[in-house]
């Protein structure tokens, strides 16, 4: 028997079509949609307002089980929770919930593994396994929405910064966002999403042309191609000049501020000279730099910049007119920090 499709892969039009083919009235599709995206039901039997025969039909033709939670870890400060999910086919992914300042920020994955091979990233170190289906991306959000609902809380922000390169899985990532955005369903505003990309230039241009309200973050990490290429193989195909040009196009097209991500690595990209080079690269661009001391991973020997050097880097950038924040490292004790997601333990220094 062919595997049943994951119910979260359906957008509302396809669900309506399906119910139509089953000779069910249109309001049934609406009920199911609300059950999925407003009540977060995740089994046919939970849809108690549907007739039993329809619940059985759903169970026979569709599955809810595309994403099975395998284990959950909570950081020692209890602000960060990481869940490991098994996908159909056996690959695993992780998603992380960060709870602080009244925010519940969820970091989700777009692929199992990653093909981009950034040397400092645990996901890159494990290689590419497969793209996630849109429903598998959606289901990560619904999993946490359900958990938080039990406490009367909600997800407030979603960042696509977990495992994988979202612009390498463009269609599925956008279709997941569109589905979660649906005002008749989960109604999660586009502006509350942030997508982080390694810098796939054509996709940045496409994203700009679609004029989406979703926030964009670009992983830059170096101000010259020689340094960037040592860290990020993608730089060979899309060197810094092309990348920054695409970023300028994005800002011009959307009027939205872009975030540049910068993992501070001792002696590699954290000197005042680098900060000045970066400032001149970004001159006149509506942007902001998010610097984060490197998180440790097993496959990379680089060390995190210390607090003092990080502060000097930030001040040098700001003196040159580029706003910069140094992000706190979160969830390091459970390997839930940026670049540490691999479905296996990571070092804890």
Annotated active-site residue 94? The verdict is: yes
123 binding ligand SF4? (CB under 6 A):
yes
Asked if residues 51 and 59 have their Cβ atoms less than 8 Å apart, the reply is no
Residues making up the chain, counted from first to last:
349
The listed partner (ligand SF4, ligand SAH, none) that binds 295, CB under 5 to 8 Å by sort, is: ligand SAH
CB of 192 to ligand SAH, least distance (A): 17
Nearer to ligand SF4, 59 or 126 (CB): 126
For the CA atoms of 309, 314, 320, 322, the dihedral, rounded to the nearest 10 degrees, stands at 150
Determine the size of the site formed for ligand SF4 (CB under 6 A).
Answer: 12
Q: Which residue is nearest to ligand SF4 (CB)?
A: 124
121 binding ligand SF4? (CB under 6 A):
yes
Among 94, 136, 165, 235, binds ligand SF4 (CB under 6 A): 165
169 binding ligand SF4? (CB under 6 A):
no
Q: CA–CA separation, 291 vs 314, rounded Å? A: 8
CB of 167 to ligand SAH, least distance (A): 8
Q: Give the binding site for ligand SAH (CB under 6 A).
A: 120-121, 161, 165, 196-198, 219, 261, 263, 292, 294-295, 297, 338-339
124 binding ligand SF4? (CB under 6 A):
yes
116 binding ligand SF4? (CB under 6 A):
yes
Nearer to ligand SAH, 4 or 303 (CB): 303
Residue carrying structure tokens 């502006």: 191
120 CB neighbour count, 10 Å cutoff: 22
**With CB under 6 A as the contact rule, which of the stretches 93-101, 115-123, 143-151, 303-311 interacts with ligand SF4?**
115-123
Distance of alpha carbon 178 from the chain centroid: 14
Q: Which residues pair with 164 in a beta bridge?
A: none
Nearer to ligand SF4, 138 or 292 (CB): 292
Nearer to ligand SF4, 35 or 339 (CB): 339
Q: Which of 24, 94, 165, 261 is catalytic?
A: 94
Q: CA–CA separation, 316 vs 155, rounded Å? A: 35
107 binding ligand SF4? (CB under 6 A):
no
| Alpha helical stretches, state H, the chain | 12-21, 26-37, 52-61, 122-126, 134-149, 170-181, 201-209, 225-231, 234-237, 240-254, 272-281, 307-319
Buried (b) or exposed (e) across 145-171, using 16+ Cβ within 10 A?
bebbeeeeeebebbbbbbbbbbbbbbe
At residue 86, φ and ψ (nearest 5 deg) are -100, 135
Q: CA–CA separation, 195 vs 244, rounded Å? A: 17
Among 7, 15, 67, 114, binds ligand SF4 (CB under 6 A): 114
Catalytic residues: 94, 338
Chain contacts with ligand SF4 (rule: CB under 6 A): 114, 116-118, 121, 123-124, 164-165, 198, 219, 339
């Amino acid at each position: 028997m062919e595997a049943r499709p994951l119910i979260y892969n359906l957008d509302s039009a396809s669900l309506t079509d399906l119910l139509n083919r089953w000779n069910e009235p249109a309001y049934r599709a609406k009920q199911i949609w609300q059950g999925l995206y407003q009540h977060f039901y995740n089994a046919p039997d939970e849809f108690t307002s549907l007739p039993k025969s329809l619940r059985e039909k759903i169970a026979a033709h569709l599955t809810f089980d595309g994403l099975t939670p395998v284990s959950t870890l909570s950081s020692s400060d209890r602000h960060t929770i990481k869940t490991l999910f098994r996908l159909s086919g056996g690959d695993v992914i992780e998603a992380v919930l960060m709870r602080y300042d009244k925010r519940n920020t969820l970091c989700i994955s777009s692929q199992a593994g990653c093909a981009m091979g950034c040397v400092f990233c645990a996901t890159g170190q494990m290689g590419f396994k497969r793209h996630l289906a849109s429903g598998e991306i959606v289901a990560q959000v619904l999993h946490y929405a359900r958990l938080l609902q039990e406490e009367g809380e909600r997800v407030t922000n979603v960042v696509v910064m977990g495992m994988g390169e979202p612009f390498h899985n463009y269609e599925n990532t956008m279709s997941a966002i569109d589905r979660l955005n649906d005002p008749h369903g989960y109604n999660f505003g586009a502006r509350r999403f942030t997508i982080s990309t390694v810098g796939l230039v054509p996709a940045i241009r496409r994203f700009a042309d679609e004029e989406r309200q979703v926030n964009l973050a670009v992983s830059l990490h170096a101000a010259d191609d020689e340094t960037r290429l040592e860290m990020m193989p993608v730089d060979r195909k899309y060197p810094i000049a092309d990348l920054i040009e695409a970023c300028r196009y994005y800002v011009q097209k959307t009027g939205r501020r872009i975030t540049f991500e910068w993992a501070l690595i001792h002696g590699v990209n954290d000197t005042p000279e680098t900060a000045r080079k970066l400032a001149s690269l970004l001159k006149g661009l509506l942007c902001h730099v998010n610097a984060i001391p490197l998180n440790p991973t097993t496959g990379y020997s680089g060390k995190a910049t210390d607090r003092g050097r990080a502060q000097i880097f930030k001040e040098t950038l700001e003196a040159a007119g580029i706003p910069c924040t140094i992000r706190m490292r979160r969830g390091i004790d459970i390997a839930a920090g940026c670049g540490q997601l691999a479905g296996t333990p990571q070092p804890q220094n």
